[in-house]
Amino acid sequence: MMKIPISIKLIVITTGLLIGVTIFVSLSTSQITRSKLIDAQQDTNIELAKAKAREIDHIFDNLKEKIALNGRLLLSLKQAENSLISDKTTNLQQANQNYTNLKRDIDNNLNLDSSILGIEVYSFQNSTALKINAKYKTKTEKDLLYNEYAVKYFRKYYPISYTKIVEGKGNMILINSSLKGYEPVITVGLPLIRDKENRITHVVVADISLSVLQKTIAENGTTSTFFITDSNGIILAHLDESKTYAKENFSNYEIVSFAKDSLMASGMKYIKEPQTNKAFYSAFAKTSYGPIVFAQLDEDIILAVIHQLNTNIIRIAGYFLSGALLLIFLFSMSLTQP
């Protein structure tokens, strides 16, 4: 029977142990890394959605102040106009100066703010809204049609519920009023004036360029993609602008349905689309004004990073194993020397 040298036995046993330990450590490290990376990416994704929601809240906070200010100016302008033709006006020169100043202020405000395209002020009595005054831009940055006649089409196809504004406890209402061939707009309605009994007597309605929301979801260097819907799932902003202008209904999308039904202000869910067989780590965050921000992270992006990490782990393990085998070989050579 052939006798196997002790050096060979040592090499085989030690090599086997090293390979086994290396494979075990590599697989364990890979699994831990995968789990940690997915958790980290999910946390980042939901934080991005929350950050976008805060950004949109800030945008609407500012818009709300501007719309209310300009609405009051329009009311004052109408009162000044009535003073000019009233028999009770004693100082016509002062009344004319007051009217001129107010008109200048409202013109300057709209010219300086490219996002506000038009503002209308209504009185509301006995469930009836009556337009008191309005101001419209005739052109926008894109030079698309927007004027009083265009607004009539917007209101015809997407009517404003003035009752909702009055009975909605002072909350802002938002409607995607975009129509093909016209400037894409989102219509905002909010209370303006209350009487001594705190009843809303006047409301203000403004058309805002949809570019205000589109800019918030533009490519920003993150691996997540974003879109925004209203509380009913109608698209307000999407990287594919045609979906926004077409007012596509996303309420049947799993993450949108999940967000609408959730009582939480934010959340996340793993979504697999059967049509495309693609998977996403999706997150949502609700704004204070109704719109919901969604952030989606393609699983393939995470898997690509994990694959790269696994490759690096295997490479490092290979270097370690090669060095260990070299040392074992040199050590075994010393054992066979006399």
Question: What does the pLDDT look like over 122-153, one tens digit per residue?
Answer: 998 877 889 999 998 865 445 456 777 788 88
* pLDDT of 51: 92
254 versus 337: the higher-pLDDT residue is 254
Q: What is the mean pLDDT of residues 79-92?
A: 78
* pLDDT of 229: 93
* pLDDT of 146: 75
Mean pLDDT of the chain, nearest integer: 80
Q: What is the mean pLDDT of residues 311-316?
A: 65
Q: What is the mean pLDDT of residues 262-266?
A: 91
pLDDT surpassing 90 at residue 74: yes
- How far is Cα 120 from Cα 189, in angstroms, rounded to an integer? 9
pLDDT bucket at 33, cuts 50 / 70 / 90: low
* pLDDT of 259: 93
pLDDT surpassing 90 at residue 181: no
* pLDDT of 50: 93
62 versus 24: the higher-pLDDT residue is 62
The model carries a pTM of 0.76
Q: Give me the percent of the chain exceeding a pLDDT of 70.
A: 71
- How far is Cα 45 from Cα 51, in angstroms, rounded to an integer? 10
pLDDT surpassing 90 at residue 292: yes
pLDDT bucket at 228, cuts 50 / 70 / 90: very high
Q: What is the mean pLDDT of residues 156-181?
A: 80
